[in-house]
Amino acid sequence: MKRILVTGGAGFLGSHLCEKLLNENNEILCVDNFYTGSRKNIHHLLDSKNFELLRHDITHPLFVEVDQIYNLACPASPVHYQFDPVQTTKTSVLGAINMLGLAKRLKIPILQASTSEVYGDPEVHPQPESYRGNVNTIGPRACYDEGKRCAETLFFDYYRQHDLDIKIIRIFNTYGPNMNPEDGRVVSNFIMQALRGEDITIYGDGKQTRSFCYVSDLIDGMVKMMNSESGFTGPVNIGNPTEFTMLELAEQIIELTGSKSQLVFKELPEDDPMQRKPIITIAQDKLSWMPKVGLNEGLMHAIQYFKKNIE
């Protein structure tokens, strides 16, 4: 049995990770400041004797004894990370420094949940891990994009300078139960608008693309990365390589919900990427990982979850 620290453990991804690790007979220390995380996501875990919840902001040092660290803490939707951009950068950078310091003291492996946003609005498509990105350092998304890029830098500096066992994954668009219905991300937006019978908001012409990974697939890849051989650092793309336009996603959600919603088009936000699709060859070769859940099946699970939020 390992004692595992999950920062951001009450968030969308963190809550699923905590549940999976708990089911694998580990002790879990879930740390969250509840800026975007929700107690509702982990309520069903609180009665377990192997689950501990600690309210804490990782921009401040944390002194605990654990065997592994998954660092997921950071608001991940534009609505939330742009609300307090300075704090977003602090969470990525100071949070990384504090968690790396803890891992260094304990001599334990640490995984960083990075993001496909490090690629910015990519000029290379699809995106391999070797692509260095096209990020606007002074734009409204930079607090998140550059914060995550700096965290990757810190992880590799600790690896080179202190021989720390680091793991980095770059997460592409992920969806499923426990998403915040009002977080402004495209899947939750479209589903909530469709269920409410509201117009579905398409930014730009709707031809920009994303690749959508169901949450159980993403968490499986994350755990495989943590448990991969020592010295394999990544970064590794974890995402579904099947690409969809925003129009295709909206039409599929309308069909699955039976909604009468109409599409309305609005101006594309600044620095919104036109294309996003991972190359997952490294994940396939090194982790024996591939996504299993198709978009239609995953959307049905997500729709059922969001229906309960409306009820």
Mean pLDDT by 10 residues, the chain (311 residues): 98 98 98 96 98 98 98 90 94 98 98 97 95 95 96 98 98 96 91 96 92 97 97 98 96 96 91 89 98 97 91 63
Query: Is 144 marked active-site?
Result: yes
Our count of domains for the chain comes to: 1
pLDDT of residue 77: 81
Please count the other Cβ atoms lying within 10 Å of the Cβ belonging to residue 140. Answer: 14
Round to whole Å and give the CA distance between 62 and 202: 42
Residue 203 lies in a domain: no
Dump pLDDT digits (tens) for 147-186.
999 999 999 999 999 999 999 999 999 999 999 988 889 9
Round to whole Å and give the CA distance between 274 and 269: 11
Residue 193 lies in a domain: no
pLDDT of residue 311: 63
Residue 87 lies in a domain: yes
Residue 27 lies in a domain: yes
- Neighbouring-strand partners of residue 31: 7, 54
Pairing status of strand 27-32 against strand 3-7: parallel
* Domain harbouring 79, CATH code: 3.40.50.720
Which two three-digit tokens encode residue 272? Answer: 């919104």
Domain limits at 99? 3-173+215-239+276-292
The closest of 70, 25, 96 to 218, measured between CA atoms, is: 70
Q: Are 120 and 136 in contact (CB under 8 A)?
A: yes
Dump pLDDT digits (tens) for 17-35.
999 999 999 999 999 999 9
Q: Are 239 and 179 in contact (CB under 8 A)?
A: no
Q: Are 114 and 236 in contact (CB under 8 A)?
A: no
Dump pLDDT digits (tens) for 33-67.
999 999 999 999 999 999 999 999 999 999 999 99
- pTM of the full predicted structure? 0.95
Q: Which of 35, 81, 144, 158 is catalytic?
A: 144
